[in-house]
């Protein structure tokens, strides 16, 4: 009986489906919120140019072992006071790769002015 219990415990611990039920919520490979937080804090464009964002969405894809993402949102840009009346909302699309469980990089940016003067 002890062998049977040990064998079942060993199988459960080695099974990715059963043991992985509690996924690492900090891994950029599995957590959307962690990936969005990483992009917004690590990418210089977010830190220096873009402000608050609404309508955030994240699409993921996999090609073999390569993990990629596309982030979309409508974001305000930081403008100097002299441009206070100008439109400051852009549709943002940032696509890139998840390089490791703790690092992702934006490889391409698209910014589209949401309004015109």
pTM: 0.73
User: Tell me, what CATH number does 85's domain have?
Assistant: 3.10.450
pLDDT at 78: 87
pLDDT digits (tens, 9 = 90+) for 5-48: 444 343 334 434 434 434 566 789 889 999 999 999 999 999 89
Query: Which residue range is the domain that position 75 belongs to?
Result: 25-113
pLDDT digits (tens, 9 = 90+) for 80-112: 777 777 788 999 999 999 999 999 999 999 999
Please check whether residue 9 lies inside any domain of the structure: no
The tally of domains found in the chain comes to 1
Please check whether residue 41 lies inside any domain of the structure: yes
DSSP the chain: -HHHHHHHHHHHHH-HHHHTTS--TT-TTT-HHHHHHHHHHH-HHHHHTEEEEEEEEEEEEEETTEEEEEEEEEEEE---GGGTTS--EEEEEEEEEEEETTEEEEEEEEEEESS--
């Amino acid at each position: 009986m002890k062998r049977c219990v040990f064998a079942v415990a060993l199988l459960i611990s080695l099974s990715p489906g059963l043991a992985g039920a509690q996924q690492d919520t900090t891994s950029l490979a599995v957590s959307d919120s962690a990936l969005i937080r990483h992009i917004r804090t690590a990418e210089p464009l977010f830190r220096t140019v873009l402000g608050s964002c609404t309508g955030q969405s994240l699409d993921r894809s996999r090609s073999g072992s390569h993990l990629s993402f596309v982030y979309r949102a409508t974001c305000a840009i930081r403008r100097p006071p002299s441009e206070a009346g100008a439109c400051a909302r852009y549709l943002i699309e940032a696509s890139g790769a998840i390089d490791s469980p703790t690092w992702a990089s934006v490889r391409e940016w698209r910014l589209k002015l949401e309004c015109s003067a």
